[in-house]
Structure 1
């Protein structure tokens, strides 16, 4: 009988990352009108450019625009599985955000993350601050969003130690 092995899906630990690594986030995500209306109303954004077809038709792009915050959120979401799933301590910030071209209903967003900086946390041993340059493109290859994402991330040894301590404290005896 073979031993059962369980493998948990996760992103990368900070000690598995290197400056210059590039992650392509596939599959992409097609943004629908329903996505846009739901996100826009959930976030209390009454901007007519996102909700009112007649109003948007009279504006320069001639049709409703996908909420730029939905575009940004989707870009970050596309990256999580490959980069920070289960290895993130905290998202420290998003900066240098730009939306060079609009996104319309039916456009598909594809993501790319490049590791641009890694440094040890001065206050949290076993954790590192990692910066990603993120880019989102539509199905035509047009860049529609750029952002810098800075994260506090675990190293593998520190995370294993923290999980073991938490399991011991909980009395489960489970090991990482």
Structure 2
């Protein structure tokens, strides 16, 4: 189970234990399922001539993975909805074979004015590769359930 609104206090830092190694299949499947024909993701011969020298992982896959790796510890069964994304940064590329881990920080939390059983939480998720390079930074707001009355 995730954390209730009351447990998501500003300043709380969570180093998520679940990590994920990104595969070629992840990248190709995600890119094709989302109708993204960008050759930097799909065409190794094209990508060899790019500044990266090889294919790079679709950034939207990386965004989804970084948030997904936080779900078990933070929002599994306790969130109502994502409300918005204020920051989405990709300061370094992700490549096939990179292992991503996530560190989340609670930036702000306030009671909902219109929903007394819920609260709004602002979270930052930082995705790091196996070399501890920052590959993704996401700041988002989400609506969480308050702890049910006993």
Unaligned runs of 5+ in 1: 1-9, 161-176
By percentage of residues, which structure has more helix?
A: 1
Q: Which has the higher contact order (CA 8 A, sep 6+)?
A: 2
Runs (4+) off by over 3 Å: none
Q: Distance in 2 between matches of 1:43 and 1:23?
A: 31
Q: What's the counterpart of residue 130 of structure 1?
A: 121
CA deviation after TM superposition for structure 1 residue 25, in Å? 1.3
* 1:95 shift after superposition: 2.1
**TM-score normalized with structure 2 length:** 0.97
Residue 16 of structure 1: how far off its partner (Å): 1.3
State the match for 1:112 in structure 2: 103
- In 2, Cα distance between the equivalents of 1:90 and 1:30? 27
Q: Post-superposition shift, 1:157?
A: 1.9
Tell me, which stretches of 5 or more residues in structure 2 are unaligned?
Answer: none
Q: TM-score, normalised by structure 1?
A: 0.83
Shift of 1:27: 2.2
Give the alignment's Cα RMSD to 1 decimal. 1.0
Give per-residue Cα distances to partners, 1:43-98, cap 9 Å, x unaligned. Answer: 11010000000000000000000000000000000000000000001111122111
Larger Cα-atom Rg: 1
